[in-house]
Structure 1
Amino acid sequence: MASDISKAHPPGEQHGESERTIRDRSDVLVVPARTGYTIIMIPCTIFFCLLQVSFAVDRPGISESLHTWFLISALLALILPWALAYRQNYPEAVFGIALISTLLCPYEPLFLLIALSSLVARRMPSRWLTTCIIFALAVCCWSQVRDALQPYGASVWHSVFSPDTHGDIPIAYSDRARTVIIALSASAGLAVFVVSMLIGLHLRSKAQVQLSDAKARAAAQRSQILQNDLDGQRLADAIAAEAHDTLAHTLSLIALHAGTQQIETLRLRRLMSQNDQKDGDDNPDAQSANTLIESIETRNQDIRQQAAKAMREAHAIIDMLKHPGKAVFHLTDTGDNSLTRDSIDQLLADARNAGASLNTWIDVRDLDQISPAAGALAYRVIREGLTNARRHANEHACSLDLKASPQDGIHIHITNPTTVGHAHENGIEEMATDPHARTSAGGNGLTSMRERVESFGGSCEYGTDEQRLFHLVVDIPVR
């Protein structure tokens, strides 16, 4: 019995229109038919069918109609086995042809057994398949018994097991001997049927294993694609957060410097107009004007420095977008954005130099024992909180309460007053009740901050109270 080597193809691979059609059925397994096996199967099937027909024709005393049918069977034996070439896509049709031809024609069951093996390999268990198997078993045994019931010379079985008398003495069988030969032929039919079933089941199990492997590989590929997309999204979110944390902070300082400079310029203009009406170098208005000029020059220098810093930060963000591979290195927290006494002093100095009024209560201990990740997150929270406070507080004083220790963790509380109209305009009230609200004035930064703090295992709450004070309260573990 020739066998097929099965190989299940992964989903998405195309193998012709007919194969794509049967893939849609849940009871179908694709087991490709090897051309080499087909070349062997067809000639062998033709040979054994013709062999059986040749014995049947030698039966003495057959009628003319039966002799004609045997001749037709011999002709069909040259044609029907070619159906095995289509067993991959049409196993049911090939099995039906083999079953009917073996039942009606004096054929060996090889044709039927090959078709049965192909059908079992390519179709999942079902009531219909069980019916086909039962019919195949009956026809297979019948074809063998049918040959054993024929007289000597018209039977393959009798030719094998009968003694050689060289044609001189007619062979006579006892009833017991004939019964033994018939039983032996039926047993042989059952045996080859079992072998055919085992081959079909082996091909099916092999195809199922390979199909499962193909599905597992496809699932792994999809998982890898999703993981890459997720990593890319995380990187994009990190770059966006970095852009917000750095550029927004620097641009906010520039805006404050520019606003302060505008106010001082107006004051200088008034003093100069008043100074035109007075004489003398010791004029107090002239001295105030000189002081304002020096202050404006200082503000201009601060604006230039902050603008240059903003430009560098913008270039860094653009470079990360151009070279994502370097983004991880750029996004790694360094000493410049970690929680140290120097970095805290620099943040407060930048805010005060920009004209912000700050009240601070700072109690930090053993910062070197706090994990760098927790310190970097706290630094970003303070920077974002001060930026948000300066944006909404206008000329009012803001407050920062910072406590940090390895035992108690990091506690940050930033408050700033705001008016009703200003709070509503900037979406602060909405952010207090809806953590997912995003506004152009800062909701995106606070929402992103809350997500990062909570993902780190901390807590982040913000909102306004009855006195129109906006509170940002953050607790970060020092793990």
Structure 2
Amino acid sequence: MEHPSLVPALLLADSLSGDPAGGEARPGGPVRRSVRDWLVDGVLFVVAVLFGLLVVAEAWSRPDPPTDGLLFLDLVVGSLGCVALWGRRRWPVGVALLLALIGTFSDMAGAAVLITLFTVAVHRPWRTVALVAALNAAAAGVYVFLRPDPDLPVPVVGALLVVLTAAVVAWGMFVRARRQLVHSLRERAVRAEEEQRLRVDQARQLERTRIAREMHDVLAHRLSLLSMHAGALEFRPDAPPAEVARAAGVVRASARQALEDLREVVGVLRDTAETGAERPQPTLSDVPALIEENRRAGLRVRAEYRVADLASAPASVGRTAYRVVQEGLTNARKHAPGAVATVTVTGGPGDGVTVCVANPAGLGQEPDVALPGAGTGLVGLLERVGLAGGHLEHGWTADSDFRLRVWLPWAADGAAA
């Protein structure tokens, strides 16, 4: 039966156990052992045999050793019990009950009894564990009666074996709870990644919906104006040449503006909850005011403008550039409190507009109020810039600065490219 000197065997069983976390072996089901499983089972088998032989040798060397017949039976049946360890993954309860029966008289099977009891505690419900543990405790009582220790009183030996059984069960159930916790945390991490992916998809869809709303409102006006002047030309072919030229100029300008509005699909319609009215759309010339507003809010910003005339930028370019600066300064305020942000706006007709917002890591300060965020701001910004025909880069530079850099097209004739 169990012996206090077999505790190291159980330690090894815990450290090398390769069973799935919190999983339960299917009785009679097929078992596919990995290389690690074969290694673990082999090591546990060798440990059980070696500890059994040591305990049998210790009993045989006593002044009043057991009879030769009992020792022979112990070696044979106990060795078969150790061999039964190879089936603990497929039939954990059955192997545990068999070894509990063998443990009523065998020292050779002592380590194997502890290993199978530990396996049941890890992979079976508490009611099954309690039943197997009770049978092991009863087997311990029979063992003490059949093979009393000459150096210790029978009650002491029995109490030690019961305590050892309870410790093995408690340890196995602790390992089970720990593995289930790890498994649960892993599932939570997978769910969190999936939820983040869904939020990103929703942000993209929301941005596209807003784009479609603005295109409907803006292009409907442009195209209706174009249709009106084209109709006038169609129904008044005898109009004076000056009037025809003027109408043709309006048609050309309206068509060009409609094309520009079609290309500026990243503009977002901002409706108020109360009136549903459209807010004035920002332009590139509004960027200095945005920076001053952030400065008044406590953000330290260095700004540099290398554009000849900010107000001359096309509306679509200015609006997108404004949103880039707005998002970059918002991220700097949220993630790098106390740092100095740098905003650079360069370019012109034919070269396009380049907007760069950079900031170092925070200076260890914490904002007074945590700013909420879903982590989808850059996703929407990337959607805006890409649909406008530009490109966006963001990430950490070699100087440990976080940089948001956007290039937007600006045609040489002043229209959006």
So what's the TM-score if we normalise by structure 1?
0.45
Query: What is the CA distance between 1:100 and its match in structure 2?
Result: 3.4
Q: Does 2:178 align with 1:191?
A: no
Alignment of 1:103-118 (within 5 A): 103=104, 105=106, 107=108, 109-118=110-119
Name the residue aligned to 1:119: 120
Distance 1:119 1:112, change over 3 A: same
Q: Does 2:207 align with 1:235?
A: yes
Q: How big is each residue's C-alpha offset from its partner over 1:38-89, in whole Å with a ceiling of 9 and x where there is no partner?
A: 5654333213434555648998996xxx93x854542343453244456456
Contact preservation (8 Å) 1:117, 1:196: yes
Q: Does 2:195 align with 1:223?
A: yes
Which of the two has greater helix per residue? 1
Distance 1:198 1:248, change over 3 A: same
Name the residue aligned to 1:102: 103
Q: Does 2:142 align with 1:142?
A: yes
2-side partners of 1:20 and 1:302: how far apart? 78
Matched letter for residue 98 of structure 1: L
Query: What is the CA distance between 1:93 and its match in structure 2?
Result: 4.1
Contact preservation (8 Å) 2:21, 2:176: no
2-side partners of 1:248 and 1:51: how far apart? 93
Q: How big is each residue's C-alpha offset from its partner over 1:6-49, in whole Å with a ceiling of 9 and x where there is no partner?
A: 799799xxxxxxx7986xxxxxxxxx988887565433321343
Distance 1:146 1:47, change over 3 A: farther
Name the residue aligned to 2:52: 49
Distance 1:191 1:129, change over 3 A: closer
Contact preservation (8 Å) 2:78, 2:106: no
Distance 1:87 1:221, change over 3 A: farther
Distance 1:205 1:61, change over 3 A: closer
Contact preservation (8 Å) 1:8, 1:207: no
Distance 1:60 1:88, change over 3 A: closer
Alignment of 1:175-190 (within 5 A): 181-190=153-162
1-side partners of 2:99 and 2:242: how far apart? 107
Query: What is the CA distance between 1:233 and its match in structure 2?
Result: 1.5
Name the residue aligned to 2:321: none
Unaligned runs of at least 5 residues, structure 2:
1-6, 27-34, 271-277, 282-417
Q: How big is each residue's C-alpha offset from its partner over 1:94-143, in whole Å with a ceiling of 9 and x where there is no partner?
A: 42342233246454533212211121122232x33332222122123332
Contact preservation (8 Å) 2:118, 2:168: yes
Alignment of 1:80-479 (within 5 A): 80-84=81-85, 87-88=88-89, 90-103=91-104, 105=106, 107=108, 109-125=110-126, 127-148=127-148, 157-158=149-150, 161=151, 181-265=153-237, 268=238, 289-290=239-240, 293-317=241-265, 327=266, 330-331=267-268, 338-339=279-280
Distance 1:331 1:220, change over 3 A: same
Q: How big is each residue's C-alpha offset from its partner over 1:416-441, in whole Å with a ceiling of 9 and x where there is no partner?
A: xxxxxxxxxxxxxxxxxxxxxxxxxx
SS of the residue aligned with 2:153? helix
Unaligned runs of at least 5 residues, structure 1:
12-18, 23-31, 149-156, 162-179, 269-288, 318-326, 341-479
Query: What is the CA distance between 1:189 and its match in structure 2?
Result: 1.0
Distance 1:232 1:9, change over 3 A: farther
Contact preservation (8 Å) 1:8, 1:208: no
Q: How big is each residue's C-alpha offset from its partner over 1:394-436, in whole Å with a ceiling of 9 and x where there is no partner?
A: xxxxxxxxxxxxxxxxxxxxxxxxxxxxxxxxxxxxxxxxxxx
Contact preservation (8 Å) 1:49, 1:106: yes
2-side partners of 1:243 and 1:83: how far apart? 75
Matched letter for residue 264 of structure 2: A
Distance 1:60 1:21, change over 3 A: closer
Distance 1:21 1:186, change over 3 A: closer
2-side partners of 1:105 and 1:215: how far apart? 44
Name the residue aligned to 1:75: 76
Compare CA radii of gyration and give the structure with the larger one: 1
2-side partners of 1:49 and 1:310: how far apart? 90
Higher mean displacement: 43-52 or 301-310: 43-52
What is the number of residues matched between the two proteins?
254
So what's the TM-score if we normalise by structure 2?
0.50
